[in-house]
């Protein structure tokens, strides 16, 4: 049962009147709002904390009503990535990327949402009902409608997508911290199984970074390629701490070096990152148009827009100076190019800063705000970005923009944490 606005408001008021981090559902160790202390010198919007939290809660409520759906019978839940009809083919209903986002949202909003634990377990049940080919601990990347059932219609649908699996693994580590692993699901064991499978299926041992997915074979043109939006260094630090596997520190170092080399060579004035990069021996270059998804494969578009979010989150949680250094030129260019008005930031740029089209999306402005938090000189810019995100009507975004809006606002409000 979804709560109406009045009910959510009463729950939120009770949280503050009774005392801060009250767990509404039984057993949360990190109930929302958790108010993480981020790295020294970082920013938050110039709003009262109660207002930041209540805005996130309202955005979450809207997101959940729009995108979190149940399968026939109700035992499983999934994120309806095609609720807005943007995916092709139209029969697409779920992708692993969105599933990872949904699991993160559920575990982070637990406490404020008394249904979060049940939702998380129902999302987990759907995950395990749709295993990837050859890797049962990973998720098949796409599910489509066949009557009332959701199935992998093609053999290719049973391959993996690295970004979804990384978020799923982190959410399971968070679930272990949030609820413990003594219940119906051993979250820690499932997290470690997922991390081991990511290592086997989705890391590139030759280059030390990530492959695009389990489907990439040595003879394919995507061999050696990687996607900067898969670089989630705070995730990898959590994987290393949980698994004691030194590989994750090595991948963290390799991905930071790759991004530093790319921006130094191809976007020194803007700090922009490309959607995809292709391997050239031991080096990388931005992918050419049509490399995998379309004409913008080598530009800062709907994949790379997430990179500032992932790097910024690493700096906020761990204080890794490599993230701050990478984001510094990007922050300066972004504020300058739109003259302090977030509505003027376009949904995509070539690496030299040329706009791809006149369009805006929270998929871009949400990550901009996380990046701005790393620079003490960007308070006014951060405040403008928060106001823009808070006021943006959900009807102006689809699943992707609305979901990134929610997750980045959780970070910006101070409510993301490291398991």
Break the chain into its structural domains and give their ranges. 5-412
Q: Is 186 a catalytic residue?
A: no
CA distances from 20 to 24, 33, 414 (A): 11, 8, 14
Per-residue pLDDT of the chain (419 residues; tens, 9 = 90+): 333 333 444 444 344 333 333 333 458 999 999 999 999 999 999 999 999 999 999 999 999 999 999 998 889 999 999 999 888 889 999 999 999 999 999 999 999 999 999 999 999 999 999 999 999 999 999 999 999 899 999 999 999 999 999 999 999 999 999 999 999 999 999 999 999 999 999 998 777 899 998 998 877 888 889 999 999 999 999 999 999 999 999 999 999 999 999 999 999 999 999 999 998 767 899 999 999 999 999 999 999 999 999 999 999 999 999 999 999 999 999 999 999 999 999 999 999 999 998 889 999 999 999 999 999 999 999 999 999 999 999 999 999 999 999 999 999 999 999 99
324: which 2 tokens? 């701050």
| 80 touches 101 (CB < 8 A) | no
Tokens of 109: 């909003």
Residues 6+ apart with CB under 8 A from 42: 315, 316, 373, 374, 376
What is the CB neighbour count within 10 angstroms for residue 59? Answer: 22
pTM of the model: 0.93
Three-state DSSP state, 78: strand
**Is 5-412 a domain of CATH 3.40.30.10?**
no
Catalytic, out of 119, 163, 176, 190: 163
Angle at 367 between CA 366 and CA 370, to 5 degrees: 95
State both tokens at 375: 């620079």
Active site residue 176: no
Find the catalytic residue in 97, 159, 176, 240: 97
Residue 241 near residue 176, CB atoms below 8 Å: no
């Amino acid at each position: 049962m979804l709560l109406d606005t009045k009910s959510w408001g009463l729950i939120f008021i009770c949280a503050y009147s009774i005392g801060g981090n009250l767990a509404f559902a039984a057993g949360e160790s990190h109930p929302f709002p958790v108010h993480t202390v981020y790295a020294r010198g970082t920013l938050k919007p110039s709003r009262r904390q109660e207002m930041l939290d209540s805005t996130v809660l309202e955005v979450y409520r809207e997101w959940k009503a729009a995108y979190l759906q149940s399968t026939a019978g109700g035992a499983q839940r999934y994120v309806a990535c095609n609720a807005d009809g943007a995916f092709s083919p139209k029969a697409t209903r779920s992708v692993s990327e969105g599933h990872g986002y949904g699991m993160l949202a559920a575990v982070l909003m637990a406490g404020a949402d008394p249904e979060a634990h049940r939702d998380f377990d129902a999302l987990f049940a759907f995950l395990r009902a749709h295993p990837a080919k050859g890797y049962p601990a990973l998720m098949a990347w796409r599910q489509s409608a066949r009557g009332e059932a959701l199935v992998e219609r093609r053999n290719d649908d049973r391959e993996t997508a690295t970004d979804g699996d990384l978020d799923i693994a982190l959410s399971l580590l968070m679930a272990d911290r949030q609820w413990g692993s003594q219940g119906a699901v051993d979250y820690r064991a499932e997290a470690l199984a997922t991390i081991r499978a990511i290592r086997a299926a989705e890391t590139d041992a030759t280059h030390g970074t990530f492959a695009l997915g389990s489907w990439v074979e040595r003879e394919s043109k995507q061999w050696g390629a990687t996607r900067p939006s898969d670089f989630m260094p705070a995730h990898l630090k959590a994987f290393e701490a949980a698994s004691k596997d030194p590989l994750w520190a090595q991948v963290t170092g390799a991905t930071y070096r790759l991004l530093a080399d790319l921006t130094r060579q191809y976007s020194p004035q803007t700090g922009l990152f490309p959607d995809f990069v292709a391997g050239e021996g031991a080096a990388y270059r931005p992918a050419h148009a049509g490399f995998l998804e379309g004409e913008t494969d080598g530009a800062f578009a709907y994949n790379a827009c997430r990179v500032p979010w992932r790097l910024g989150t690493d700096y906020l949680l761990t204080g890794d100076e490599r993230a701050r250094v990478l984001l510094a030129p990007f922050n300066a260019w972004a504020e300058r190019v739109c003259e302090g008005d977030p509505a003027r930031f376009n949904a995509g740029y070539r690496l030299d800063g040329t706009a791809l089209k006149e369009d805006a999306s929270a998929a871009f402005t949400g990550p901009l705000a996380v990046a701005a938090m790393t620079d003490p000189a960007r308070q006014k810019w951060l405040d403008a970005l928060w106001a823009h995100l808070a006021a943006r009507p959900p009807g102006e975004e689809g699943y992707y923009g609305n979901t990134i809006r929610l997750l980045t606002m959780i970070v910006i409000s101070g409510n993301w944490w490291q398991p």
